[in-house]
Each structure stands twice: as structure tokens, then as C-alpha cells.
Amino acid sequence: MGAEGVEEEVLFERRGHLGIVTLNRPKAVNALNHGMVQAMLGQLSAWADDDAVATVVLRGAGDRGLCAGGDIVAIYKDMLHGGTETAEFWADEYRLNALISHYPKPYVAFMDGLVLGGGVGVSAHGSVRVVTERTRTGMPETTIGFVPDVGGTLLLSRSPGEAGTHAALTGAHLSGADALFLGLADHFVPSQSLPALAEALESSTAEAAVGRFAQAAPDSALAAQLEWIDAAYAREDAEEIVRSLRTLGDEAAAAADTIEAKSPTSVKVTLESLRRVRGLSLEEALDQEYRVGLRCLAGPDFREGIRAQVVDKDRNPQWKPPSLAEVRESDVEGYFAPLGERELGLSAAPVQSN
């Protein structure tokens, strides 16, 4: 894709001492592709060293959301043709996630509307994360036979109790209040105030500007469910978690139904990812997610999940194997095996703090 196409899909501008990044694919709810990620890496690196830029803000074009995730149709086409584009895209995307997490200036993310998957990666690692009453966020990867990535496993492993495990296995869409509870966001601002907040950021510090517009968030529905979530999801394996959810009834039983509709392999690998990632750095987590992601590219469920949800839209994926009980421990272990020369190696590289 040429530079012109990239410029159209992600816009950069300066207003006062504010650098503005606008994801600009509104018809695709600003889904990320490789060109957009590369452009953001370049511009954010330049602004990190630019004394005229004091603060950076990330927002999405259109009225549907910040970012619905990675461009999974492009990933599907790459899988069908046995290409390497997806692996290269993820490598740069994860580098971008790491850069954002260590950014030397306030990085303000407007997490308005849909903020899913890769959208979480370019927002929730920032230092000032703003949600609204319209926020619908989450890591829905198990629905398409994949596993949370972009550092999502680490973020959710740090959530209170087992709430992050519930969010990861069910792939549930979460409210802004839930995002605050999970630790994916910092401030609640009404969506109608975002333009005024962006204007204030041009001349005020991020702390002062956000302080003017932030309000108390509504109650988190997820927080109210933590008792049964903690009781069920602390179990040893996915089958035990589902059994425990069924015994708890009502909302818990509905969660069990949801999990059993997901890719059994994805559910088990996601659970193992969350357990293994605790205590790791973001770079170590991204290296682990890259290993898992490349194994997902090579397996049947990721391709089948995208086909069923996005391509044919029959919502009837044929998972292989079709049940949790048939996913062997050795199968899960294989997803975490070292990649040799294909390792991403972020944890071995110097931290980018600019």
C-alpha cells in the first residue's frame, strides 16, 4: 500500500502542543492494518523526540468507535494464500504496543464506542485512558478461534480476582465502567465532552484537561458479579470452570454456554496464556502472544472462526477438536514452544523509552 493510502487511513496533525492521531477507516470501524501500524510507529517515535509536542491523543473517525481490532479479513486472505503478511503485521503491531506503554509523554486514548482486540492494544497501554457511556470494549478472540494478544493477556491477568479470566474466555463486550474496573481505563468522560477535551489538550496539561471533564462512572456490572466469577474461574482447567459455572446457575450458567460455543482450543490456550503471563513484563507477554499467534495461524480454528463470523457469516463454526475434553494438554503446550529464529524477541531488546 502506498503512502497516500496510509495517510488516508491514519491521520496526523498538530494543534498547539498536541499531536493528534486519528484512525481513519470509519466504514471498517477503524480496523488496523499493517500500513496504519507502521505509520503510527514512525510518527509516534518522531513526536517522542519533538519538544513542540507535549501530549498525544488517539481517536477514531466516524461515530462507531475508536477501533474494532485488526483487519481480520486481510488476515483470512493471508492464511488462505499461505502468506507471511500477518506475522509481519503482528510484529510491528506489538512493537507499537510496547512503544505506547513506555511513551515519554502523556498518551491520551479516547476509548469511545467499539474498542476491541487490536483497538485495546493501541489504547489501554497508554498513560491516560478515557472511556465514555458509549464504550464497548473487550477481547473477543475466542469467538474467532484466536487468543487475546496485543498485550491483552497481561492486562486481563492484572484485573481484580478472576474478572479478566471471565472477560477473556467469554469474549464479552464490556462497558466503560467495566473497563475501569478491569484496569483497562482511567477516566470516564461523557462522549459529548470529547471535542472540548481535545481542544483543552492543545494548551493544558493532560492531567488538568482531563480533570476538567472527568465524571464519576456508572456502576460496573462486572464488579457486581465478582463473587461467582472468582468462585468459578479459579478452577484448575477449562472443563472444571464450565462445570462450576453451571452449578452456580443464572448468569454463571449463561457464561458456561458462551464459553462452550467458543473454539475449545482457543479457550484452553487462552486460559493457559493468562496463567503463564502473570508477573511477566509487557515485552515478555508480547513475545509469548506472538508464539501463540503464529501457532493459531497454522491451526484450523482461526481460519474457520473468521469464515463463520465474518466471511460466510453463518455463525456456525466447525471447531477441531469440537469439545474441551478433546483438547489435550500436549496440544496446548505446543502453542507456547519457542519459535527459534522466528522469535519476536521484544524482551531481549532494549526498552524503547525515547
Task: Single out the catalytic residue among 19, 70, 119, 164.
Answer: 70
Q: At what angle do helices 85-101 and 34-48 cross, to 10 degrees?
A: 30
Question: Is residue 304 annotated as part of the catalytic site, yes or no?
Answer: no
Question: Is residue 331 annotated as part of the catalytic site, yes or no?
Answer: no
Question: Is residue 118 annotated as part of the catalytic site, yes or no?
Answer: yes
Query: Residue 351's pLDDT is what?
Result: 52
Residues 86-128: tens digit of each pLDDT: 999 999 999 999 999 999 999 999 999 999 999 999 999 999 9
Question: Is residue 70 annotated as part of the catalytic site, yes or no?
Answer: yes
User: E strand or H helix at 3, and its extent?
Assistant: helix 3-9
Task: Single out the catalytic residue among 60, 69, 117, 118.
Answer: 118
Query: Residue 127's pLDDT is what?
Result: 98
Task: Single out the catalytic residue among 112, 149, 178, 304.
Answer: 149
| Structural domains of the chain sorted by starting position, each given as residue range(s) with its CATH number in brackets | 10-342 (3.90.226.10)
Per-residue pLDDT of the chain (354 residues; tens, 9 = 90+): 344 455 599 999 999 999 999 999 999 999 999 999 999 999 999 999 999 999 999 999 999 999 999 999 999 999 999 999 999 999 999 999 999 999 999 999 999 999 999 999 999 999 999 999 999 999 999 999 999 999 999 999 999 999 999 999 999 999 999 999 999 999 999 999 999 999 999 999 999 999 999 999 999 999 999 999 999 999 989 999 999 999 998 999 999 999 999 999 999 999 999 999 999 999 999 999 999 999 999 999 999 999 999 999 999 999 999 999 999 999 999 999 999 999 999 998 765 544
